[in-house]
Amino acid sequence: MNKSEFIKELSKQTSYNEERCNTINNIVEDTFIIGKKNKEKIIEKFEKQINLDENEANKLYEIVMRIIGTEIKNKLKHPFKSQD
């Protein structure tokens, strides 16, 4: 999944506009996603940069991780499938 596909899927699942989804993508790209402290950093950035409360930021984090996790599972099931 490339950046534009991720943003499109995020927009579909959250109903956020493309600009907001792009900001979310930038936050995720700038922070290593594995680890409890990094989870907290990402959630904190969601709260500050896109003005979400803690509950909304946690929900958004879960959606982002679900999208990424689904893509990882697809890669493991179909390692030679084209990204096109």
Flag whether 46 is in a domain: yes
Residue 81's region, left for phi above 0, alpha for psi from -120 to 50, else beta, is beta
Flag whether 52 is in a domain: yes
Q: What is the pLDDT of residue 74?
A: 67
Flag whether 83 is in a domain: no
Flag whether 82 is in a domain: no
% of the chain residues with pLDDT over 70: 88
pTM: 0.81
| pLDDT tens string 49-80 | 999 999 999 999 999 999 998 877 666 677 67
Residue 42 belongs to what domain range?
Answer: 3-77
Flag whether 84 is in a domain: no
- 70 against 33, higher pLDDT: 70
- How many domains is the chain built from? 1
Flag whether 27 is in a domain: yes
Flag whether 29 is in a domain: yes
